[in-house]
Every structure is written in C-alpha cells, then in structure tokens.
C-alpha cells in the first residue's frame, strides 16, 4: 500500500505554496541551524496542531509530542528517555528561552489514566507504563471549581509535567538564572480557547485572543 493520497497531495501543496516561495528562508535555516523561540511539549493527539495554534513557521518551535504531553522526572539511571533527551537538547544545546507544556481538552491519555484509577487498564501495555508518570496526580480544588472535572485532571497533568521539568538540574539552573521561562497552557479543541497557568496566582486563566 502506498502513501495515502491526502499525504502526497498535501506534500505537493507544501512544496508549491510554502517551500518554493520561502526557499531563501529554508536555505538559511539549513545553513545557519535552528534557533527556536520555544520548546513546546504537546500531546500526540492529531487535533492539537501546534504550529497552527501558534501560527509558527519552520524553525520557530522545537516541538516534542508524546501521549498526554508528559515529562518524566530527571532519572539519570533510566533507559530510553526520548522526552528527557529532547528536553536536554532544547535546554543545553539550543538554549531555548521558553518551554511550554501544552495540554488539551478531550485528552485520551488523561482519560486512560482516569480509567486506570478505576482499575480498567491493561497494566502490561506501554501506555499504562507511560501513564504511571501521572501517579499521585494532585487535582486542585480551585481547578475543579473553575473548570470541568475532565479539564481539572488535564490541568493537573500540566502542573505535574512542569514540576518534573524542574527536577532537571539544567532546567532549574537556567530558570533560576532568568535564562529560561516555563509555561503551562491548555488548548480547548472545540472553542479554540487557550488558558495559561499563572504560577503566582496558582490558577489557569484565559489568554487574551486579540
Ligand atoms: Zn492528549
């Protein structure tokens, strides 16, 4: 079976409408390397189109996607840490000034974690193992009061990933030195609303759209 027609046609449109008109910029990116404005850690969910949400072009965002936009804690003795490797590369090599954890509504990963809490999961799957990163998740009363229960769990996941990011010495040091800012955002698929964690105020509030 060949590549789906939609992918082939999409690639042709990309070359015609974007790569060809911006050829100079792509050549510059190839020669000078990437200097992204931010690392964005988002979910694999096909409905969370990170570049579209931020209207970002090639070279602007260093994007990592995994199930439920999770960051594991700093575990030097661990095995295959793809997410930690990307975090390390962004912080130490690219020296990005911002890291964004981008959660989203209707997250299947968070829903699977909630099912696991009820005992409805195949514990031997890769997903079940990955979702143990959410064990001990603290769902805030304040989030439950202002948002749906489902959203409150998603927000708690974002808070947990931010805490785990800060367990990386390189991240903590760069943040304390004022070289790196961490952000927690949640995207609502249906409304397009983006809410942001105000860590001083300890709550998520809407970002002004315009
Ligand atoms: Zn998700």
pLDDT tens-digit map of 48-58: 999 999 999 99
In angstroms, the CA 82 to CA 100 distance is 17
- pLDDT higher than 80, residue 45: yes
Is the Cβ–Cβ distance between 185 and 102 less than 8 Å?
Answer: yes
In angstroms, the CA 71 to CA 36 distance is 20
- Kindly give the distance from the C-alpha atom of residue 173 to the centroid of ligand 1, in angstroms, as a whole number: 29
Looking at the chain, the number of H-run helices and the number of E-run strands are: 9, 6
- pLDDT higher than 80, residue 124: no
Please tell me the predicted confidence (pLDDT) of residue 23.
97
pLDDT band at 177 (very low <50, low <70, confident <90, very high): very high
Q: How far apart are the first and last CA of the chain?
A: 45
- Kindly give the distance from the C-alpha atom of residue 45 to the centroid of ligand 1, in angstroms, as a whole number: 5
pLDDT band at 199 (very low <50, low <70, confident <90, very high): confident
- Kindly give the distance from the C-alpha atom of residue 3 to the centroid of ligand 1, in angstroms, as a whole number: 25
The residues, ordered by sequence, that sit 6+ positions from 1 with a Cβ below 8 Å of its Cβ are: none
Give the pair of three-digit tokens for residue 25: 């910029």
Is the Cβ–Cβ distance between 42 and 65 less than 8 Å?
Answer: yes
DSSP 207: P
- Please identify which residue in the block is written with the tokens 């792509």: 26
pLDDT band at 1 (very low <50, low <70, confident <90, very high): confident
pLDDT band at 176 (very low <50, low <70, confident <90, very high): very high
- Kindly give the distance from the C-alpha atom of residue 114 to the centroid of ligand 1, in angstroms, as a whole number: 13
Is the Cβ–Cβ distance between 95 and 39 less than 8 Å?
Answer: no
Please tell me the predicted confidence (pLDDT) of residue 71.
96
Please tell me the predicted confidence (pLDDT) of residue 117.
81
Residues around ion ligand 1, judged by CB within 5 A, are 43, 45, 107, 109
Please tell me the predicted confidence (pLDDT) of residue 56.
97
C-alpha 57: how far from chain center:
17
In angstroms, the CA 57 to CA 59 distance is 6
What is the tens place of the pLDDT at every residue in 132-164? 999 989 999 999 999 999 999 999 999 999 999
The mean pLDDT of 8-15, rounded to a whole number, is 98
Q: Is 133 helix (H, G, I), strand (E, B) or coil?
A: helix
Please tell me the predicted confidence (pLDDT) of residue 39.
98
- Kindly give the distance from the C-alpha atom of residue 48 to the centroid of ligand 1, in angstroms, as a whole number: 8
Q: Is 105 helix (H, G, I), strand (E, B) or coil?
A: coil
Please tell me the predicted confidence (pLDDT) of residue 209.
66
In angstroms, the CA 106 to CA 197 distance is 18
Pairing of strands 61-66, 194-198: unpaired
Q: What share of the chain is helix, strand, coil (3-state, %, to 5)?
A: 45, 15, 40
């Amino acid at each position: 079976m060949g590549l789906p027609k939609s992918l082939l046609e999409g690639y042709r449109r990309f070359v015609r409408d974007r790569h060809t008109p911006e050829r100079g910029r792509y050549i510059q990116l190839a020669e000078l390397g990437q200097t992204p404005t931010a690392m964005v850690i988002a979910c694999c969910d096909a409905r969370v189109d990170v570049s579209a949400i931020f209207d970002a072009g090639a070279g602007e965002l260093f994007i990592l996607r995994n199930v439920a936009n999770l960051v594991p804690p700093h575990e030097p003795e661990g095995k295959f840490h793809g997410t930690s490797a990307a975090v390390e590369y962004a912080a130490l090599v690219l020296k990005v000034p911002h890291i964004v954890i981008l959660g989203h509504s209707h997250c299947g990963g968070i829903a699977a974690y909630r099912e696991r809490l009820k005992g409805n999961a195949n514990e031997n799957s890769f997903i079940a193992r990955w979702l143990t990163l959410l064990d001990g998740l603290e769902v805030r009363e304040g989030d439950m009061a202002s948002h749906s229960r489902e959203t409150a769990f998603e927000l708690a996941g974002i808070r947990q990933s931010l805490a785990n990011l800060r367990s990386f010495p390189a991240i903590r040091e760069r943040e304390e030195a004022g070289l790196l800012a961490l952000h927690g955002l949640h995207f609502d698929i249906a409304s397009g609303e983006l809410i942001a964690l105000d860590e001083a105020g300890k709550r998520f509030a809407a970002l002004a759209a315009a």
